[in-house]
Structure 1
Amino acid sequence: MAGPYRFRPMTSADLPQIRRWLALPHVREWWGDPAEQYALVSGDLDAPAMDQFIVATADGDFGYIQCYDVTAWDSGFGSQPEGTRGIDLFIGDPGMVEHGHGAALVRAFVDERLAQTAPRVVTDPDPTNGRAVRAYEKAGFRKAHMVDTPDGAALLMIRET
């Protein structure tokens, strides 16, 4: 497995790659309509409560991760400690899927956030996405409970300091 991971802030120059990744079957399966998701991702580029990153190794870019202030985005997660961050991500490069990168990059990214100031990081995978749920568990998240989100039912998972 390649590493270590770099998380560089996404810019508008990354949007063509994001559009290509969103159209790939393994991303579309869980993220949904590529045009709709592209509009959301590109529209959030300048949102103050949303940080977006391109995930890379020495071999190049391979994924996307967004990290947002849960209190600024009413996501239906219920009461959370002030400063809680939420994350969503995908591995765009199909050659990087099912090689342990998901859990490893999530652990590295979340370790940084928890070491800075976030008291908690949450995520909300589709409960039928076993690969994502296992990756989050390997990265130290615990299952909390089901939540209703704008995209439907999701499994709230939590990692704390």
Structure 2
Amino acid sequence: MSESGEAIVRLRPAHRGDWDLIRSWLARPDIEAWWGPRSATEAEVNIALGSGHALSRIIEADGKPVGYAHAVDATIWGEELPDDLEPGTWDLDLFIASEEHRGRGVGHVALAKLKEEVFSTTLATFVCVFPSIRNERAVRAYEKAGFKWKRVWNDPLMGPSWFMIAERPAR
């Protein structure tokens, strides 16, 4: 823990050896409600883990794995995304599996670190997220992290979802 009592959050590269842990998290009803149907999220994580156009990360708090995050060049998803998605946009997704670390800023810090990593290591012009309109906690967290609402998009798996973007910071 830091001197302020907050958890020290780190993103470490996720590997195939993390698959059993990630899969156990994806099987939980609370994670499915946050991130979507298990079969779809398992496929998404597998694509991210196997792609050179993705950053797959285990979220650690004080050295303990507490969640998963990835950033994916949105073109990897093919035709499944909104037509008005800007070229050079990366799609971000994350969840905090550890209930004791939810609501304590770990997700916010992890999202900021992931967003910063995308903009510092890729040519991404935007990052985007697609939280379900039913998931107000996620929407508020993304707003707090600097994402702006673009519009509602009908996600084929999750139904009506907010299409939210954050632009590359000016240097």
Give the structure-1-normalised TM-score: 0.87
Matched with 1:98 is 103
- Give the secondary-structure state (helix, strand or coil) at the position aligned to 1:113: helix
SS at match of 2:17: helix
Partner of 2:25: 21
Measured against aligned partners, the alpha-carbon deviations of 1:105-159 in whole angstroms (never above 9, x if no partner) come to 2122212222343211001000110111111111111111011222122101111
Q: Deviations over 1:66-87 (max 9, x none)?
A: 1111123233223344321111
Task: Check the 8 A contact 1:21/1:93 in 2, yes or no.
Answer: no
Aligned letter for 2:127? Answer: V
- Residue of structure 2 in register with 1:158 after alignment: 165
Query: Identical aligned pairs, as a percentage?
Result: 32
Unaligned runs of 5+ in 1: none
CA distance in 1, matches of 2:47, 2:126: 26
Cα distance change of structure 1 residues 85 and 39 upon mapping to structure 2, 3 Å threshold:
closer
Matched, 1:144 2:168: no
8 Å Cα contact 2:132/2:162 also seen in 1: yes
Q: Determine the C-alpha separation between the residues in 1 that align with 2:73 and 2:108.
A: 22
CA distance in 1, matches of 2:114, 2:48: 19
How far is 1:25 from its partner?
A: 2.9
Q: How many Å separate the matches in 1 of 2:58 and 2:138?
A: 18
Residues paired across the two proteins, number: 160
Q: CA, structure 1 residues 85+40, in 2 after alignment: closer, same or farther (shift >3 Å)?
A: closer
Distance 1:71 1:34, change over 3 A: closer
- Structure-to-structure mapping, 1:54-65, within 5 angstroms: 54-65=58-69
* Separation of aligned partners in 1, 2:65 and 2:163: 28
* One-letter amino acid matched to 1:130: E
Instruction: Confirm or deny that 1:45 pairs with 2:49.
Output: yes
> Which sits farther off after the overlay, 14-23 or 33-42?
33-42
Instruction: Please say if residues 131 and 139 of structure 2, whose CA atoms lie closer than 8 Å, have aligned partners that are also in contact.
Output: yes
2:38 is matched with 34
Deviation at 1:39, TM superposition (A): 4.2
Find the aligned partners of 1:36 and 1:10 in 2 and give their Cα distance: 19
Runs of at least 5 residues in structure 2 that lack an aligned partner in the other structure: 1-5
Report matched runs for 1:67-86 at 5 Å: 67-74=71-78, 75-86=80-91
